[in-house]
Amino acid sequence: MINCLILGSGRSGTSMLAGMLHQAGYYLGERFHQPRDSNPKGFFEWYRINRINEDILAAHDGIGLRDRLFKKILKKNTIHSPGKNQRWLLAIPEGAEVDAAPAGLEGEMRAVLEKEPYAYKDPRFSYTLPAWKPYLKPDTVFLCVFRDPAVTVESILRECRGQEYLADLRIGRRDAYRVWVAMYRNIIERLEPRFGSFMFVHYEQILGGGALGRLSGFLQAQLTGDAVDPALRRSQGRHPIPREAEDIYRRLCRLAGHEPRDVSS
């Protein structure tokens, strides 16, 4: 079994894949976020990994905004400057670098990577992977999970409406698309060419079992579909998708070998 990290926007099927890896015997952490209605089978996400990634990304709040004055008057809790635990919805501008962790995090990053085989999942890895790379085991590979952006965006907005810790985040549909585009553009244009060892997989390929053999071979692990529940396919996207998001989605589908249904347009 090969060590791996799971990347991709929140609400894209990353928890479903992490659940499969947990069932296969991967180490995902000591304590997970508790299941709730939006993820009844669980998130399989370790708070300690989230905290490290939050600390890495804190330095990038407000990056790319036009001037210092605008940064000062910018109200907190937007996709450009989120609040505590909200940086899985941070939109970092194209070309911004997240190459290093703040001083003092090295020991903790090494500590969480001691137990193998690990399979850590956090949407924030879509930005922070370069900061982790010096500490990862040499065989570590990367799984990028995605789904129709219209569906993902509706699920993100529903999560923001329903969770107290997100109640003060100012986010609308256009903002959610900006987050989605920023994350996946960074993955396919910066991370994958730089680090390689990526596998791209569509939510539907996991849900339908079509990716099971490919995932098992890539990870050198015996995966089953027992953790996958087709009844969890609940979100629907019924609005026009921005052209930029549609273009990135089609690129992701090509990388995953997935034939997309007609996306909303």
Tokens of 199: 């596998």
Q: Kindly report the pTM of this predicted structure.
A: 0.90
* Chain segment 47-94, per-residue pLDDT in tens: 999 999 999 999 888 765 555 545 554 556 899 889 989 999 999 988
Residue corresponding to tokens 């930029």: 244
Contact 121, 4 (CB under 8 A): no
Residue corresponding to tokens 């209605």: 37
Residue corresponding to tokens 């970092």: 92
DSSP 8-class letter at 73: H
What mean pLDDT comes out for the span 233-238? Answer: 60
* Chain segment 152-199, per-residue pLDDT in tens: 999 999 999 999 999 999 999 999 999 999 999 999 999 999 998 999
Residue 189: CB atoms within 10 Å = 14
pLDDT of residue 265: 44
Residue with the bigger pLDDT between 193 and 32: it is: 193
CA distance 16 to 27: 15
Contact 7, 126 (CB under 8 A): yes
CA distance 198 to 218: 9
Q: Give the C-alpha distances (Å, rounded to integers) separating 80 from 25, 65, 152, 181.
A: 37, 8, 19, 14
CA distance 237 to 152: 8
pLDDT of residue 69: 46
| % of the chain at pLDDT higher than 70 | 85
CA distance 108 to 48: 9
Tokens of 166: 């997100």
CA distance 222 to 164: 38
In the chain, the domains with their CATH numbers are 4-256 (3.40.50)
Tokens of 57: 């990304």
* Closest by Cα among 220, 17, 251 to 149: 251
